[in-house]
Amino acid sequence: MTESTHFSTNAFCFDFRCFGIKSKRIIMVVLSLRNLILSVSLAMFATLTPFSNAAPTPPIPQVDACGVLGSKNSSSITYDDVSACYKAIPYDPVVASATLKTLHAFFNDYYVFRDSALTPDLKAPFSCPPVDIAKEFERIGQTKYTSDYSFHSDVSRAINGLYDAHASYNIDCYTAYAFGQPFALYAPVVQGRQSIRIYRDFTRRGYDDCEVVTIDGEDALTHLIKFADTLNFSKDRGVRLNQALASETFDEKRGVFTTSSGQYSERLDLPDKARVNYELKCTNNPTSIRLSEEWRVFALNEAQFTDVKSYVTSVCLPLTQRHQDLPSTKHLQRRELETVREHEVRKRQLYPVPKKSIFLDAVPSAPSEDPTGGDTDLPTAQQLVAGNGTVFYQLQSQPDVGVIVVHTHGVESEGELQVAADGLAAFHARNITKILFDFQGNGGGSVNFASFLVQLIFPNRGDLDKSLRSDLRITPSIQDLSAAVFNASEGHLYNAGIYLGLTTQAPYQNNDLFLHPVTLTRNGRPALYSNSTTLDPVTLGGGDMAGYPWTNNPANVRFLTDGRCGSACALSAHSLHKLYNVTSYGVGGVSGEGLSMFSFAGGAVSSLNDVNKVYAFGKVTSPLEPLPYKGDVNLPILEVYANGSDIPLEYDADQHPVNYRLAFDPVNARKRNVMWAQVTAHAWGQKSA
């Protein structure tokens, strides 16, 4: 066996845990609380009882709608119960105006894309109309709402319209339940025609791979594309479609790929109607099948409530309003904050704890039920090494190709780099000469890891190969804050010490970055930004990399994406492609249209609560009042640019299209090794020996 390589790394920090250790690093955090909850809800769907065609809900008597919901046991809650309770909460002008005041100030003064978002006619692969987000909030402020729910939904819709997963409004009040359909759908191209089909029928009624002709009377593909336009995930509608539909997701615990239903079939937001009507066409059955499937409801919140009033108190309002005696002014350390979040998420995960996993472990199914083979293990790719974010496979059909699945950048860089060193050494020991990265479904994580990953293949370059030109919005309040926190050891976005002067290539020794802003005019609107800077880059030490046949050799490297390679993952993909000319392959999306290599490359994200913690830490009065409801709002604070471009990467459509497109089909959508073999054959020939 080859010796494992030991990389020396600079000091680093991991995700939001920077605060606990003495380091001046910044991380792009992608997993918002809502993401975490969502992934929890996916797991929960895996542990629920099978769908039954239950009788229609009895009419709800004239009583308090949240009282009805609160009195039900979790397995008997229906769509109508949740819908009625949500809609029974009266519009509260005090809550609404306080919410809008904070959102307006946060987006107007801190949101780095406030004026870029006004860009009309963004080029393909983007499909994303201009948004004046401050005006949107003003419009909402003048709208009469019949319920609190419709007000908050409209706020969500406005922020979703930015098509940036870094910008989000997450409140617990209206995400207390999750909703699931019995089918996972996908959009394969068969004989040149794209259509919606059933990827998996969780009820095992034999509908796998039946074509879905219509949904609620509308052409199913059109319906799905329209639905995908309500997701904020990407500026590219092909990527949004991939996000709406089923995919194979790497399951770290089991070390295999498992099915995720996608955001059409599994939702946190209340669906419009109690049921979805499908018209199916199945092979060997000339007549179409009409099904009306109710949403299964899963409670995510343990809170007890007996009526509308107590629902608002225990689910919607923050803790501090319930327990006035809690220390609310004391600055929470970031680490403590995360502990609170993790705790909340764990609690949710534990809520209904049935033992048997019905949804995901329904395999293996008999061949007659599933002609393409339901199992998702990889018979022709051998797993060699696996870490928390990277998994190394050797493709058995093309044994000189090694596949590195990077399913998340949310890893502890130091440990994961050791895994990667072992993985590359194992590839080399097996005479692998070519590398295919698979970035599908990677929501990002550590910025340092994004840079390290690229340096594993392209080592020993200059600082600006490792970190992109960046800037952020400046206001007098931000200047006060930056002055107060400049000398603090904690690394966060308003501490100049974490940045590198673009011309000096040295870390800032003073606060000039924030004190001497420049005016940039975008779409006719001037605003103050910091001078161009860059995050202080991380450097990977030497190791055995120089001797590998793929090192500094883009001809031997490819990457595969479904466009759902976000944030820190986007930075890796962008660098590989733009700086090192690595060829990219994109799978899925809308047939005949382009597809983005990555989404929400944006820059660094922060949240209202976190920015306010920095204000508290710096003992500077924050101009941002907390939200009335429990939750948070995220937005990008720092923007990055591709080398040579003055358009922020998030809006720079030219930097996005993949080189080659691949369609999902009934086989490659279910078997990654088949998809890898397709890319490999195209890249290096069928028998790439």
Ligand X SMILES: *[C@@H]1O[C@H](CO)[C@@H](O)[C@H](O)[C@H]1NC(C)=O
Please report where in the chains the tokens 């089991």 appear, as a residue.
254
Q: Shortest Cβ contact with ligand X: which residue? A: 415
Q: How far is the CB of 568 from ligand X (least distance, A)?
A: 14
- Residues 480, 483, 485, 487: what is their CA dihedral angle, to the nearest 10 degrees? -170
- Contact flag: residue 35 with ligand X (CB under 6 A): yes
Q: Which residue lies nearer to ligand X by CB, 200 or 469?
A: 469
Q: How far is the CB of 466 from ligand X (least distance, A)?
A: 9
Contact in structure between 228 and 240 (CB atoms under 8 Å): yes
- Contact flag: residue 416 with ligand X (CB under 6 A): yes
Q: How far is the CB of 144 from ligand X (least distance, A)?
A: 22
Distances in Å between the Cα of 62 and the Cα atoms of 153, 154, 405 are: 25, 28, 54
Q: Which residue lies nearer to ligand X by CB, 441 or 666?
A: 441
Please name the amino acid found at residue 334.
R
Q: Which residue lies nearer to ligand X by CB, 220 or 627?
A: 627
- Contact flag: residue 553 with ligand X (CB under 6 A): no
Phi, psi (rounded to 5 degrees) for 571: -65, -40
Sheet of 381-386: strand order equals: 381-386, 390-395, 401-406, 434-438, 557-561, 583-587, 660-662
Size of site (CB under 6 A) for ligand X: 40
- Contact flag: residue 426 with ligand X (CB under 6 A): no
Q: Which residue lies nearer to ligand X by CB, 203 or 531?
A: 531
- Contact flag: residue 39 with ligand X (CB under 6 A): no
- Contact flag: residue 54 with ligand X (CB under 6 A): no
370-389 footprint of ligand X as x/- string (CB under 6 A): -----------------xx-
- Contact flag: residue 22 with ligand X (CB under 6 A): no
- Contact flag: residue 52 with ligand X (CB under 6 A): no
Structure tokens at 209: 């791979």
Structure tokens at 33: 């609380």
Contact in structure between 217 and 230 (CB atoms under 8 Å): no
Structure tokens at 629: 């409801």
Q: How far is the CB of 600 from ligand X (least distance, A)?
A: 9
Q: Which residue lies nearer to ligand X by CB, 333 or 583?
A: 583
Instruction: Please identify which residue in 99, 116, 168, 673 interacts with ligand X, judged by CB under 6 A.
Output: 168
Options 121-129, 373-381, 411-419, 662-670: segment touching ligand X (CB under 6 A): 411-419
- Contact flag: residue 643 with ligand X (CB under 6 A): yes
The footprint of ligand X on residues 502-521 (CB under 6 A) is 502-503, 510-511, 516, 518
Q: What Rg, from alpha-carbon coordinates, does the chain have?
A: 25
Cβ-count burial 34-63 (b if 16+ within 10 Å, e if not): bbbbbbbbbbbbbbbeebeeeeeeeeeeee
The footprint of ligand X on residues 223-282 (CB under 6 A) is 232-233
The footprint of ligand X on residues 583-642 (CB under 6 A) is 583
Q: Which residue lies nearer to ligand X by CB, 220 or 457?
A: 457
Q: How far is the CB of 474 from ligand X (least distance, A)?
A: 11
The footprint of ligand X on residues 118-157 (CB under 6 A) is 156
Burial class (CB in 10 A: 0-12, 13-18, 19+), 509: exposed
Contact in structure between 526 and 519 (CB atoms under 8 Å): yes
- Contact flag: residue 335 with ligand X (CB under 6 A): no
Q: Which residue lies nearer to ligand X by CB, 278 or 298?
A: 298
3-state secondary structure of 261: coil
Cα 273 from Cα 347, distance rounded (Å)? 29
The string of DSSP letters for 334-367 reads HHHHHHHHHHHHHHHHHSS--S---SSTTPSPPT
Q: Which residue lies nearer to ligand X by CB, 276 or 474?
A: 474
Gap between the terminal Cα atoms of the chain? 23
Q: Which of 284, 362, 343, 318 is nearest to 46 (CA)?
A: 362
- Contact flag: residue 412 with ligand X (CB under 6 A): yes
Instruction: Please identify which residue in 165, 568, 597, 624 interacts with ligand X, judged by CB under 6 A.
Output: 165
Options 161-169, 276-284, 355-363, 567-575: segment touching ligand X (CB under 6 A): 161-169
Instruction: Please identify which residue in 174, 295, 486, 651 interacts with ligand X, judged by CB under 6 A.
Output: 486
- Contact flag: residue 484 with ligand X (CB under 6 A): no
Contact in structure between 88 and 67 (CB atoms under 8 Å): no
Give the angle subtended at the CA of 47 by the CAs of 42 and 48, to the nearest 5°: 100
Instruction: Please identify which residue in 7, 16, 24, 32 interacts with ligand X, judged by CB under 6 A.
Output: 32
- Contact flag: residue 76 with ligand X (CB under 6 A): yes
- Contact flag: residue 526 with ligand X (CB under 6 A): no
Instruction: Please identify which residue in 126, 137, 149, 169 interacts with ligand X, judged by CB under 6 A.
Output: 169
Q: Which residue lies nearer to ligand X by CB, 210 or 245?
A: 245
Options 159-167, 297-305, 332-340, 474-482: segment touching ligand X (CB under 6 A): 159-167
Distances in Å between the Cα of 264 and the Cα atoms of 180, 218, 237, 289 are: 9, 15, 14, 21
Q: Which residue lies nearer to ligand X by CB, 210 or 560?
A: 560
Distances in Å between the Cα of 345 and the Cα atoms of 148, 164, 198, 450 are: 25, 23, 31, 26
Alpha helices in 52-112 (DSSP H): 65-71, 79-88, 93-109
Burial class (CB in 10 A: 0-12, 13-18, 19+), 204: middle
- Contact flag: residue 432 with ligand X (CB under 6 A): no
Binding positions for ligand X, rule: CB under 6 A: 32, 34-35, 73, 75-76, 156, 159-160, 165, 168-170, 232-233, 387-388, 412, 415-416, 419, 430-431, 464-465, 486-487, 502-503, 510-511, 516, 518, 531, 555, 579, 581, 583, 643-644
